[in-house]
Amino acid sequence: MSNAVTRQASAAPTAFAVETVRADFPILHQQVNGQPLVYLDNAATTQKPRAVIQALVDYYEQDNSNVHRGAHALADRATEKFEQARLAVASFINAPSSSQVLWSRGTTESINLVAASWGRTQLKAGDQVLVSAMEHHANIVPWQMVANAVGAEVVPIPVDDTGTIDLDAYKALLSDKVKMVAVGHVSNALGTINPIEAMIPLAHAAGAKVLIDGAQAVGHWAVDVQALDCDFYVFSGHKLFGPTGIGVLYGKAELLEAMPPYQGGGEMIETVSFDGTTFQGLPYKFEAGTPDIAGAIGLAAAINYLNKLDRAGAEAHEQALLAYALQKAEALGGIRLVGTAAHKTSVLSFLLDGAHPADVGTLLDQQGIAVRVGDHCAQPIMKQFGIPGTVRASFSFYNTFEDVDRLFAALEKAKVFLL
């Protein structure tokens, strides 16, 4: 787990060099609707440092070519950078081997790959897949699809009114029927940091495999898949300050080797004839067709950028922003916080009394403040809370205390206008 402090953290300014970091992100320095942009939609996608943008430009200007099997210099350079990116990801999450790092289009496709390949071969009628009640739809629907196909069942792990997984209820659900536990490292809708360090060994003791959706975690702190001992870990590049369209699936080697290919086509084959086809080994048997070469290279650039950053300082800064925002919310009044778990990332999900989230979002946008509104692809937990959705402000290390001040000044105006 992260070293994230609790909601009672100090809201005092930190020593983190936020203005220096902000200079690395060109998009932040613009006006929206005549106001300086305050970007608070980081849980949806993070902005990209100049190093990532330049890596994409350099690839397309200098090295653009398809990877592998090329007999010319451009193909060799593209292939080297592409495979170096895989090595960078493996090192970043402490995977035992880069062959256990598979490229996908994002977290959603990574989960679909495991559900379709592992799930359709390992699940049978009567089996169960446990998912938390606050999962993103991408970690519910793929499991429902395979469960419907084989006669298995997707069972929710209860979540209490603070947005915290009920560990006692989780333990009670574990049985020999449970074959997979699929849970988010962090809730995208609420910011809850789930106790996966406790959940993973409990699942293994019951004979189940574990998939962790790390989309909302990797941008906040270092992840070590070997220390976690999860069976699969998935995340998206665009939530890690990298490009859209590139994602990662890490899996334990013995599981990936036993899983059949998810898609068929070029690149993933060893031989093809009309008498039959044989497939390449890891990781290529899961990578049919031309990959997102530029996306992988851009993701490596994002990782290299983060590796040079004071990540502990960045995390402390984010937690201080959240603590400050909580203080401001208490002072504002007329606001309902949704997701009040003791351990959270820097996500503030809320409702203004008597105002629809969409209206609040529109008024904030008019003042240059970007937030997300709606159910955040987490309809089950919204239904549990009896609400249609929330306004979600999500902070990253390049946000400032002034950004929080701007948010709450705009909310004061919204209250006057809407109520």
Residues 208-211: contacts with CB under 8 Å, at least 24 apart: 208/130, 208/174, 208/178, 208/179, 208/180, 208/181, 209/118, 209/122, 209/179, 209/180, 209/181, 209/255, 210/180, 210/181, 210/182, 210/183, 211/111, 211/114, 211/139, 211/180, 211/181, 211/182, 211/183
The encoded tokens of residue 293 equal 């070469």
- 206 φ, ψ to 5°? -90, 0
Distance CA 78, CA 65 (A): 6
Distance CA 156, CA 131 (A): 5
Contact indicator for 116, 85 with CB cutoff of 8 Å:
no
Q: Compute the Cα dihedral for 48, 54, 57, 60 and give only its sign.
A: negative
| Contact predicate 180/211, CB 8 Å | yes
Q: How many residues does the chain have?
A: 419
Using alpha carbons, select from 361, 343, 375 the residue that is nearest to residue 407.
Answer: 361
CA distance 240 to 180: 26
How do the residues of the chain divide into helix, strand and coil, expressed in percent and rounded to 5?
45, 20, 40
Q: Which two tokens stand for residue 203?
A: 């699942």
230 as an active site residue: the answer is no
Q: In the numeric block, which tokens belong to residue 379?
A: 């309809």
Nearest to 408 by CA among 345, 321, 338, 344: 321
- Decide: 170 and 157 in contact? Cβ < 8 Å: yes
CA distance 34 to 31: 6
SS3 163: coil
Side-chain-side CA neighbours of 310 within 13 Å: the count stands at 13
Neighbours of 253 (CB within 10 A): 13
Catalytic residue, candidates 5, 32, 377, 418: 377
Strand bridging mode 38-39 / 369-370: parallel
Catalytic positions, written as ranges: 377
